[in-house]
Amino acid sequence: MTTSYTRYERARIVGARSLQISMGAPLLVKTDRIDPLEIALEEYEKGVIPITVKRK
């Protein structure tokens, strides 16, 4: 699942998710990291980000 995204899609998903986290969205993983981008990457690795890509 995680590997099925292209690097561009990955960038978009992680970017959007880290922005959400930095704006106060609830976390989906337990972590002691502080940087929103790192948290987003961790969530992405675990495949728990509730974002999908619509391909046209």
Residues lying near other proteins in the complex (CB under 8 A) are found at 16, 19-26, 51
Q: How far is the CB of 4 from other proteins (least distance, A)?
A: 19
Which residue type occupies 37? L
Give the shortest CB-32-to-other proteins separation in angstroms. Answer: 20
**Residue (25 or 48) nearer to other proteins, CB:** 25
Shortest distance, CB of residue 11 to other proteins, whole angstroms? 12
Q: How far apart are CA 47 and CA 21, in angstroms?
A: 16
Q: How far apart are CA 24 and CA 18, in angstroms?
A: 10
For residue 44, the tally of other CB atoms under 10 A from its CB is 19
